[in-house]
Structure 1
Amino acid sequence: MNTEVLLARNEGAALVLTINNPATRNSIGPEFFQAAREALNAAAADPVVGAIVFTGAGGFFSSGGNLNQLAATRELTAEARRARLELLHGLIRAIRNNPKPVIMAVEGGAAGAGMSLALAGDLLVAARNAFFAAAYIKAGLTPDGGLTALLAESVPRQFLTRMCLTGERVSAERMHALGVVGTLAEPGSAEAAAIGLARQLARGPERATARILGLCRTAPALPLDEQMEREAGSMVESLGDSEAVEGIAAVLGRRNPDFDALRG
């Protein structure tokens, strides 16, 4: 029996990280948060890794926090509960600050903190029959892991409020219609679709990709003038980068660019 909470494997330039707790539908807690954060930091510094895919073992993404563990935190001080919560928030920040694209592959469902994790990725692939649930209310709890902020990037306040106050399941197809899910896949094929997308992105210019990720991550929250300042800074950097030399030459020469020699 494999007791690792996180499994890692390479699929070409894609690093696949699998939540590995199928007995509890991949509930997540401190051990997973720490392992995932370490894996993300290592991937950020690894020139072989071009993109990262998160998935869940056993055909389910994640049911969120382990309620037995959460119940035990009642015995802790407020400061200790906050420190434990920061492990989750540190993982979400590690995803949002990673220079490599992070793609979430959701089969089955993503609930509670599992939904927060799914929303934190740069791109979200979900099986048509999967569901999403901000299920905190059912346990008398409130959202964490940035769920309200991340979901508000895509949906109106009324929809956000309904999801959080009812905890009801919302289908992947509905989330796709709202723009939360970027790609729908047939059941059982979300991981393969995410890996294919990861490999495609990994062939792109490494530093330009990191700059674009930074811009896309801040765009929903920043005023137009501030975002344009960030765009200007990124464009100035990009124009002075050897990636632009190769990219522009490839476009003008009507050939595919070769960015591999420029990595690292």
Structure 2
Amino acid sequence: MTDLVLRETREDVAVLTMNDPTRLNPLSDAMRAALLEAFETAAFDDAVRTIVLAGAGGNFTAGADIRQLIVPGGPDPARSRRRLTPLHRLIELIAGGPKPVIAAVEGAAFGAGLSIAAATDFVIAGEDVRFGAAFGKIGLTADCGLIWSLPQRIGRTLARDLMFTGRPVKGPEALAIGLIDQLVPPGTTLEAALAKAAAYRGVAPLAIAAMKSAFVQGPGPLSDALALERQQQPMLSMTQDHAEGLAAFTEKRAAGFTGR
């Protein structure tokens, strides 16, 4: 891990901060590698219950590092595929990995920055936030799963509009259309994210992991959802957390879940 991504631990919350503020934290090749490494470490750390993604210097991320899109010698499709690989793995872990993920978004969240935020479980944004999906303005399609994640948040019609026009979306509109889940004063997104993370502590970690796995496989036929339940529920019924949850309910106390 490099100083391009800073990790801070707040109780059982891993806060991962993209840290190239003079350039609005662009997703350069080095940033992609560092962010994936930091996220993978946190995602499989038994001491971590929730992951918060943030950006340094009052911005989330401006998206792709445009300078790295200009390739000497002309287009290189193989290079393009290689550069997508770490971001695709990151999106898979955000959306379907075992830990709830909260985006604490300030300032700019453009391109793949919007894609990362849209894939998280809960998006908290400062009132100064600016989202944009201007991929088409440089002749590219939306990437990092945005065509999958954005319609789930705001519906297909609005998702098309944002992608086809590339227009910016500011805080109040983002809240109104469901692009974000909570709008807070600038500079307070991390505090709000930590408060939301605290609310997840009352639910067993393995149960959250199972539900995230189910969410990422949908929407689909009801029969698929019921089949997945038949697989997951018997396994969860054998966990220590299930026994603890039953005991806590019976004894009218808070449960002490351990993820086992």
Normalising TM by the smaller chain, what interval? over 0.9
State the partner residue of 1:247: 245
Deviation at 1:122, TM superposition (A): 1.5
- The yes-or-no answer on 1:170 pairing with 2:169 is yes
Distance 1:46 1:223, change over 3 A: same
Q: Please give the root-mean-square deviation of Cα atoms over the aligned residues, in Å.
A: 1.9
Distance 2:229 2:256 in 1: 24
Structure 2 counterpart of 1:45: 44
Letter in 2 for 1:114: G
Deviation, 1:73, is 6.8
Choose between structure 1 and 2 for higher RCO, CA contacts under 8 A separated by at least 6 residues. 1
Superimposed CA distance per residue, residues 203-261 of structure 1 (whole angstroms, 9 cap, x where no aligned partner): 53221121122123323x322110121123222222222211111221222211112xx
**CA distance in 2 between partners of 1:211 and 1:142 (Å):** 31
TM-score (norm 1): 0.91
TM-score by length of 2: 0.92
- Which one-letter code corresponds to 1:236 in the other structure? P
**190 and 253 in structure 1: CA distance in 2 versus 1, 3 angstrom threshold:** same
Match of 1:155 in 2: 154
Ranges in structure 2 where 5+ consecutive residues have no aligned partner: none
CA 1:23–1:150: 2 relative to 1, 3 Å:
same
Question: Which runs of 5 or more residues in structure 1 are unaligned?
Answer: none
* 8 A contact 1:30–1:88 mirrored in 2: no
The aligned counterpart of 1:116 is 115
User: Does the CA contact (< 8 Å) of 1:59 and 1:107 recur in 2?
Assistant: yes
Q: Deviation of residue 176 (structure 1)?
A: 2.1
5 Å-filtered alignment, 1:183-194, equals 183-194=182-193
**1:64 aligns to 2:63 (yes or no):** yes
**8 Å Cα contact 2:13-2:52 kept in structure 1:** yes
Letter in 2 for 1:30: D
Partner of 1:201: 200
User: Higher mean Cα deviation, 37-46 or 68-77?
Assistant: 68-77
What's the CA shift string for 1:40-93, capped at 9, x where partnerless? 221122111111000000111111001111122773532222112222212212
Output the CA distance in 1 between the equivalents of 2:182 and 2:44: 28
Per-residue deviation, residues 122-172 of structure 1 (Å, max 9, x unmatched): 211111331211021222322111111110112232211111111111123
Distance across 2 between alignment mates of 1:173 and 1:234: 39
Specify the alignment match of 2:140 in structure 1.
141
1:222 aligns with 2:220: yes
For the pair 1:236 / 2:234, whether they are aligned, the reply is yes
Given that 2:59 and 2:106 are in contact with CA atoms closer than 8 Å, whether structure 1 keeps it comes out as yes
Q: What displacement does 1:120 show?
A: 1.5
Check 1:73–1:26 CA distance in 2 against 1; reply closer, same or farther (3 A cut).
Answer: farther
In structure 2, what is the Cα distance between the partners aligned to 1:212 and 1:67?
A: 36
- Alignment check: 8 A CA contact 1:34 1:91 kept: no
Aligned residue pair count = 259
Distance in 1 separating the partners of 2:166 and 2:145: 16
Residue type of the partner of 2:112? Answer: A
- Where 2:70 maps in the other structure, the secondary structure is helix
CA–CA distance in 2 between the matches of 1:55 and 1:141? Answer: 25
Per-residue displacement from partner, 1:83-122 (whole Å, max 9, x unpaired)?
1222221221232232111111111121111111111212
Task: Name the structure 1 match of 2:4.
Answer: 5
